Amino acid sequence: MVRMTGLMTAAIALTLALGAPIAADAKDYLLGSQLPLSGNLARVGQGMSEGIAVAVDLANRQYAGKHSFKVTTIDDETSPAKGVAAVEKLIAQGAVALTGGYGSNIIGPASEAAQKAGVVYITSGGVTPDLTGRSYKTFFRINNTEGYAKAMIGLLGDMQVKKVSVVYLNKEATSNLAKQVQADLSAKGVTVGMHEFDGATSDFKPLLNKVKLQDRPDAIAMVGYENDYVGVLRAAKVLKPDVKAVVGVWSLATAQMAKEFPDLMENVFGTSMLPYPVEFTQPEAIEFSKSYSRLFNKEPDYLGQFGYVQTKLLIEAVLRADEAGTLDKGGLADELRKTDAQTLIGRVTFDEKGDNPNFSHRMGQHQQGKVVLVWPRDAANGAMNFPARPW
Chain residues that interact with another protein, rule: CB under 8 A: 38-40, 42-43, 45-46, 78, 170, 195-198, 200-207, 209-210, 213-214, 226-227, 230-231, 234, 237-240, 256, 260-264
In angstroms, give the least distance from the CB of 262 to another protein. 7
Pick the closest to residue 169 from 178, 160, 161 (CA basis). Answer: 178
What is the DSSP code string of 133-179? HT--TTEEES--HHHHHHHHHHHHHHHT-SEEEEEEESSHHHHHHHH
In angstroms, give the least distance from the CB of 321 to another protein. 35
In angstroms, give the least distance from the CB of 209 to another protein. 5
Distances 361 to 183, 209, 274, 299 between C-alpha atoms, Å: 18, 31, 10, 20
202/368 with CB nearer another protein: 202
In angstroms, give the least distance from the CB of 91 to another protein. 27
197/269 with CB nearer another protein: 197
In angstroms, give the least distance from the CB of 77 to another protein. 10
239/379 with CB nearer another protein: 239
In angstroms, give the least distance from the CB of 353 to another protein. 30
60/175 with CB nearer another protein: 175
72/209 with CB nearer another protein: 209
Residue 123, SS3? strand
Q: How many residues does the chain have?
A: 391
At residue 76, φ and ψ (nearest 5 deg) are -90, 0
CB atoms within 10 A of CB 148: 24
d(CA 78, CA 139): 20
231/354 with CB nearer another protein: 231
| Residue 366 near residue 253 (C-beta atoms within 8 A) | yes
